[in-house]
Structure 1
Amino acid sequence: MLALWVAAAVLLTAGSVFFPGPTSNDTSIPGTDAQRALDLMKEGFGSEYRTGGTFQMVLYSPDGALTAKSRKRAVERAVEQVRDVPNVAEVKTPYRIGGLAPSLEIGLITVKLKEGDSATRSETTKLVSEAVEPVRQAGIEAVPADSSNPADKEIKTGTSEIIGIVCALLVLLLAFGTLVAAMIPIFVALISIATGLGVISLLGHLLDVPKQASIMATMIGLGVGIDYALFLLSRHRKLLADGLPVHEAVRRVVASSGGAVVFAGGTVIIALSALLLAGFPLLQTLGWITGISVVAAVFTSVTLVPALLGLLGHRVNALRLPFVGRRGSHGSSGWTGLGLWVARRPWTVLALSVALLGALAAPALAMKLGTLDDGYSDRGTDTRRAYELLEAGFGPGMNGPLVVVADLDVRVVDREPAPAVLQLFKDRVADVDGVAHVTDPVLNKGGTAALLQAIPDYAPADPRALEVVEAVRALDVPGAQVHVGGKVAGMADAGDRIAGRTPLVVGVVILLSALLLLLAFRSPVVAIKAALMNLVSLGAAFGALSLVFSLGLGSGLVGMDPPVSTDGSYLSTIFFTVPIDSYIPLMLFAILFGLSMDYEVFLLTAVRQAYLRHGDNRRAVAEGLGSTGRVITSAALIMVAVFVAFIAYPDPMVKIFGVGLAVAIAVDATIIRGLLVPATMVLLGRLNWWCPPWLDRILPNLSVEGHEEEDEEEKPEPRRELVGAGHAS
């Protein structure tokens, strides 16, 4: 088993290195106005008007105008070299109408491509950037204004991954006290990530894989991979300490904790799979691709971990560190004491927990959704630099032009002179408030549609840019139907689509997760309560996001670079607001709902096993919290450390996910699992494990903890009428 997993990881990693799949941020949304505009653009307008058909090199001369003779000669020499680059169909110099900024210090070289697929475009961008070297030698800055620029797509360092792994190793050393035991979850998680990322990379040859997919898969895969292995290893070391033979201990671990891992991973996968109902391809793809890393984590946990435990035997406790982990991994009197304290005053704990969680969730009411444009990219990237130069030279709207397409009612045959409908089309768009400039309309080859670009007065992240989109769409142009495309319009449509589908996705996630818990624990009360508790932790996560990004209280502290103000200077480096893309909250919901259910499953499994032994609910809650408190806390610390480490990643979307995930897991493992869940279980008493007889009869005999209890000494049986037939499992 060890050889199979290592071979799979090595081969898939090698395949992803030598045959890497291209990435693509496809924001198409079938059935929307922006998609209709995109479809019309593909009908006879030429390759330059298709997605990926053109890109620009932004030139900036800090020492004077680009029209000076020496600089102009350097620019023209660079343009000639660009024309010789493969895949370049046409090159337009800055010395044309609209090619130079009013200051004459900033200009645009526009490059039309023969082929616009993501891999070819990325390679062409790199070659064109090298071809304009003559302008750099003349003291002119040249930056590609292209988000597919390979220099910006690369993971510059593995800093986030390394920090996360180091922090996880430190927590594991403190939890286990031995180097060998601490290294097992790390090794298993690395094999899992290598396998998952290899599959994802190779899938890029067949499907559109977003550029953030691999980093999201790494973030989630690293966290759950270490956590799942940690739970199995903790149980195994306890059984060894109780005197069981190695192979019997491994068998029981897989039968009990292995089942819990499968159920926990299943909830994460179910939640991510529900994103397929969101109606937004980018979100759907991110969901199932992230799910690949979770599947890999589950499989490695229930196959590779047992293999390693069997190979190591009692050497799993080798290389013990001094003064660390002497209490073992099988419980904590401190957590048991907390459980007993909660059991004695459940109403007080419940009120305190609700107050704390309410305070944490309150800022979520101020969350502001919008478009996270390139102006919030890492300041060291070409994408960010090009954005700032375009804004300084041509205005903020230059970074988010609207592609306006008129679907003509009557086919235009005579193109000279220009039909009146085209002039009317241009005039109506130009008269819209918030439109700074429009280009002349261009007819497609069939004469059935006309296209122009409208430059708004506002940056893509400005909410007023969305108002301009709606105003243009509302235009009444006799003889034509107006459609608006482009990034701003596409994200606006995505926000509307996601808002409409959110209730469906949330409902499906809650329903399926509750059903899975019902199958696992045979208790409707437990299933419903677990779903509600997970929603509470989500409120805390959204509150933290709103506080940091929507209210701007410390956005600079998480590494966000402030945008440029109207006078060209940078805004406050610590406090500034950042828009949150409309699809981020829904994806966060899916991920967090699944991850939060992990700890719920492990805690409930321990409480249920204790209850099945003696039938005392209060005692079972205290024992369950005592036996799982330390391992859940360790697992949560690891996951929080991993997510916090990824806040250092330069992509703004990853930062937002890192903050939300870290806060949610921290709150979930402390306030919710340590206080709120035990308090509610004590108050519910025997109702926790009540199951209607008719429901008990139709539920399959499926148990999270397997059949380990059958191998132990006979325990007192709890009351049948309170537990239901499920106690037989």
Structure 2
Amino acid sequence: MATLLYRLGKHAYRRWPLFIAGWLVLMIAVGGFAAAFSKPTTDSFSIPGIPSEEAADLQAELFPGSKDAFDQATVNVVVAAPEGERIDQAPYADAITQLISDIAAGPDIPEELTTTDGQAAVNPVNALEARDTNGGSGNGDANGGGRGANAPPADTDPAVGAAAFAPVSPSGRVGVITFGFDVDTITDVTPETQDAVLAAMDTAAESGLTVAANGQGMGDFSGPGGTAELIGIGLALLVLVLTFGSLVAAGLPIVAAIWGVGLGLAGVTGMSAFFDLSSSAPLLATMIGLAVGIDYSLFILARYRGELDHTDDRAEAVGRAVGTAGSAVVFAGLTVLIALSALSVVRIPFLTIMGLAAAVTVLLAVLVALTLLPAILGLMKSKAFGGQLRKYRPKREADNKILNNGVRWARLIGRRPLAAVLLVVIGLGSLAIPLKDLYLAFPTDSTASPDTTQRQASDLLADAFGPGREAPFQIVVDGRDLAQGQRDGAFADVVAWAEGQDGVSAVIDTAALQDPATAPQGPVEGTQLLLLPESGPDDPATKDLLQQLRDGEDGIESATGTDIGITGLTAITTDVSDRLTGALPLYLAVVVGLAFLLLMIVFRSILVPLTATFGFLLTVLATLGATVAVFQQGALGIFEGQPIVSFVPIFVIGVVFGLAMDYQVFLVTRIREAHVHGESTADAVVDGFRNSARVVAAAAVIMTFVFAAFILEPDPVIKSFGFALAVAVLVDAFIVRMVLIPGLMYLMGEKAWYLPAWLDRILPDVDVEGEKLERPHLARPAAADDEDREEVPVG
């Protein structure tokens, strides 16, 4: 492989116009396809085969007009009068009536303001007046009565009975205007449509009302603003300037990475023409592609600058840099690709697409580093290290070898290797302790940032109606196996069964709410129940209630002769979380197994891949433990405590494994390179740190900055990913690879390179270290009076 990459790098340097033109044509072609055929992203987290999806299929079969839960562009506009007042008082009543009129006049609104199921939206002021007229019974239009909906007095607990479904709170202070945008899916909702609703809300707020809105129709579909990327790039540039001491050289990895990410995003966007693309996928692809793109180019550029210390032939230096460091880049990239692509084995469609989208950008980062970067070096020639801010003149030992901090650190670990290993294991083990309290859920309006209208509306609803108002379950009841005269009684029995479960706030048969003019005609074959729990969507008690209902399904089906399914957003996201958790063991087995084989090929050893895997497990446990402590438990007061997003652990495991193997490959290949050239294992460790520790540290700092910048994004998914990956890089690069691995290498000694003869014959020889590229010349010593040299090694 080293020989092939050597020729590729040398050819790209000499034929730079051809390579640059090829990349430009590819960018235009992919970008044009994406612009012409891409489709909007979606946040549908459905998984075929889960119980809630089967229930949704039953729902669509019984009620053909029903929409998928993720496609309902529902909006809840919550209005609240000041404390001690009611919404039917002046001037609030008129303001609410005008608010409804203004919303109805906006774009993508039906001629008559209606809910997503076609029912007329209720003015909470009229509902409150109707409730007062009925003597505070709270039934009828005001509360949406029906089978199983008791009629509590107006001053009862809002989380009891039918009041939980009402458009107005028992106190009369808070009202809800629920409607749906007239669109096919939520991705068809435009910013102009949302802005019209927000403008109407601002006008209503002038009366003294508190007005906020949430629901899927008011989600943020605008995507990232680019601030995180710019911050990450800016900090990465600073690190590169300090690493190379050259403004031009510092900019080359940035240019290469941006080109790869840009092309990757165009490709990912084009993928939406064939697949449903999650709105998080492009941003995650950007995060990962930008980090690895800078690092891969950095490693090759640093090796190129080091090779210039041995030859004045720049084409030769580029060829040898790509043949050696490029080989490590290829195998490092392969580990990341394995980790990301292996997400497909867990059979979760949206996760597969996210993994493949990120894998595309990683693949492009590798190809850009191997071909476009050498071509740019060919374009710039001697100016590649221009704009110098300082000259690098490292200290040298008696044998003329460089003495740097990497050497000092390796020797420090070598004095007490066992103590270093124990310190790492105990320290990271302690950091992993909070992982025992891990609770997974999907983000909801109740976990949004407190300064958003979505969160403010959610808080108002929870205070006025109980937290279960935003965690409804839909129970689909199929009565087709029953005689028509038996169905109403069976449906009532199912309602009574559902109401009798612990933790249930209210149950209502939605068939009783339908307008006779729009209700389906003919025999009633089934019905839909709306069940509100007493707990919120992110509360473990809600998950327990769902399991309790499903445990009792067989019994009520046998008793009534019906078929029952439970669906809705809360049920679907809970099922997805359970599937993700169950998929972790299979995913780990596939990723670790494939990567272990790859690392055996790279290092020609059994123990070195084992230590790499052991270090990875420590990194993952410590990373997830820190994420639980900071995000879920609110440690340090940085973030508001909330559940961990369900697919964060499995995706973090995949990405962290790839990144961990990156550092393992870059660092240990230099150690093995010294060993195959005659150094003892202890001396090889020192030599490996001499030549790679500084660049690996710079790469890790860059990656940490890039990931940490995404913590500034408002999306809780991206925020938690950015935090987890930043912690993972710091832990893996500076603790595991810089302390644990050299400590273990010292302890293993020559046994580290043990490989049975029969296995050695089976494994292919890929020559990652570029042994076949060695030349008979000796490294030229750096002259003390060479004031004009700019090609000096960085590590």
Query: Partners in 1 of 2:403 and 2:365 — Cα distance?
Result: 27
Cα offset, 1:114, TM superposition:
5.7
Mean Cα displacement is larger for which, 170-179 or 485-494? 485-494
Specify the alignment match of 1:355 in structure 2: 426
Deviations 1:296-344 (A, max 9, x none): 211111111111112222211100014x755499965221122233334
Gaps of 5+ in 2: 1-18, 128-140, 143-165, 512-518, 780-795
Determine if contact 1:368/1:579 at 8 Å carries over to the other structure. Answer: yes
Determine if contact 2:77/2:214 at 8 Å carries over to the other structure. Answer: yes
Using a 3 Å threshold, how does the CA distance of structure 1 residues 412 and 230 change in structure 2: closer, same or farther?
farther
1:242 aligns with one of 300, 310, 318:
310
User: Are 1:512 and 2:580 counterparts?
Assistant: no
Determine if contact 1:122/1:148 at 8 Å carries over to the other structure. Answer: no
Cα offset, 1:420, TM superposition:
0.6
User: Are 1:262 and 2:339 counterparts?
Assistant: no
1:689 aligns with one of 729, 753, 760:
753
1:403 partner letter: Q
Specify the alignment match of 1:656 in structure 2: 720
Q: TM-score, normalised by structure 1?
A: 0.88
Deviations 1:43-85 (A, max 9, x none): 2425455322351231314355333452354145236536983
Determine if contact 1:168/1:638 at 8 Å carries over to the other structure. Answer: yes
SS state of the match for residue 363, structure 1?
A: helix
Specify the alignment match of 2:56 in structure 1: 38
Specify the alignment match of 2:465 in structure 1: 394
SS state of the match for residue 703, structure 1?
A: coil
SS state of the match for residue 25, structure 1?
A: coil
CA RMSD of aligned residues (A): 2.9
Residues 109-148 of structure 1 mapped to structure 2, 5 A cutoff? 109-112=177-180, 115-122=183-190, 126=194, 129=197, 132=200, 135=204, 140=209, 143-148=212-217
Determine if contact 2:258/2:290 at 8 Å carries over to the other structure. Answer: yes
Residues 428-467 of structure 1 mapped to structure 2, 5 A cutoff? 428-442=497-511, 447-467=524-544
Cα offset, 1:549, TM superposition:
2.5
Specify the alignment match of 2:79 in structure 1: 60
Using a 3 Å threshold, how does the CA distance of structure 1 residues 331 and 497 change in structure 2: closer, same or farther?
farther
Using a 3 Å threshold, how does the CA distance of structure 1 residues 81 and 372 change in structure 2: closer, same or farther?
closer
Deviations 1:78-104 (A, max 9, x none): 365369836976541234432222233
1:675 aligns with one of 739, 747, 750:
739
SS state of the match for residue 22, structure 1?
A: coil
Specify the alignment match of 2:366 in structure 1: 298
Cα offset, 1:372, TM superposition:
3.5
Using a 3 Å threshold, how does the CA distance of structure 1 residues 328 and 56 change in structure 2: closer, same or farther?
farther
Specify the alignment match of 2:653 in structure 1: 589
Query: Partners in 2 of 1:119 and 1:677 — Cα distance?
Result: 48
Query: Partners in 1 of 2:109 and 2:581 — Cα distance?
Result: 44
Cα offset, 1:120, TM superposition:
2.4
Determine if contact 2:482/2:562 at 8 Å carries over to the other structure. Answer: no
User: Are 1:251 and 2:319 counterparts?
Assistant: yes
Using a 3 Å threshold, how does the CA distance of structure 1 residues 135 and 348 change in structure 2: closer, same or farther?
closer
1:496 aligns with one of 566, 578, 582:
578
2:488 aligns with one of 403, 419, 424:
419
Cα offset, 1:9, TM superposition:
4.1
User: Are 1:365 and 2:436 counterparts?
Assistant: yes
Gaps of 5+ in 1: 563-576, 716-729
Specify the alignment match of 1:532 in structure 2: 614
Query: Partners in 2 of 1:80 and 1:216 — Cα distance?
Result: 37
Mean Cα displacement is larger for which, 377-386 or 499-508? 377-386
Determine if contact 1:79/1:93 at 8 Å carries over to the other structure. Answer: no
Cα offset, 1:385, TM superposition:
2.8
1:276 aligns with one of 327, 340, 344:
344
Specify the alignment match of 1:70 in structure 2: 94
Residues 154-169 of structure 1 mapped to structure 2, 5 A cutoff? 154-155=222-223, 157-169=225-237
SS state of the match for residue 60, structure 1?
A: strand
Using a 3 Å threshold, how does the CA distance of structure 1 residues 712 and 503 change in structure 2: closer, same or farther?
farther
Specify the alignment match of 1:720 in structure 2: none
Mean Cα displacement is larger for which, 686-695 or 704-713? 704-713
Specify the alignment match of 1:103 in structure 2: 171
Residues 600-639 of structure 1 mapped to structure 2, 5 A cutoff? 600-639=664-703
SS state of the match for residue 392, structure 1?
A: helix
Mean Cα displacement is larger for which, 96-105 or 141-150? 141-150
Larger Rg, first or second structure (1 or 2): 2
Specify the alignment match of 2:474 in structure 1: 403
Determine if contact 1:219/1:643 at 8 Å carries over to the other structure. Answer: yes
Using a 3 Å threshold, how does the CA distance of structure 1 residues 390 and 17 change in structure 2: closer, same or farther?
farther
Query: Partners in 1 of 2:520 and 2:684 — Cα distance?
Result: 73
1:516 partner letter: L
Query: Partners in 2 of 1:412 and 1:228 — Cα distance?
Result: 69
Cα offset, 1:682, TM superposition:
2.0
2:105 aligns with one of 81, 84, 90:
81
Q: TM-score, normalised by structure 2?
A: 0.81
**Across the two proteins, how many residue pairs are aligned to each other?**
693
SS state of the match for residue 42, structure 1?
A: helix
Query: Partners in 2 of 1:237 and 1:103 — Cα distance?
Result: 74
Determine if contact 1:26/1:281 at 8 Å carries over to the other structure. Answer: no
Cα offset, 1:222, TM superposition:
1.2
Specify the alignment match of 1:374 in structure 2: 445
1:337 partner letter: R
User: Are 1:26 and 2:60 counterparts?
Assistant: no
Using a 3 Å threshold, how does the CA distance of structure 1 residues 251 and 200 change in structure 2: closer, same or farther?
same
Query: Partners in 2 of 1:123 and 1:548 — Cα distance?
Result: 33
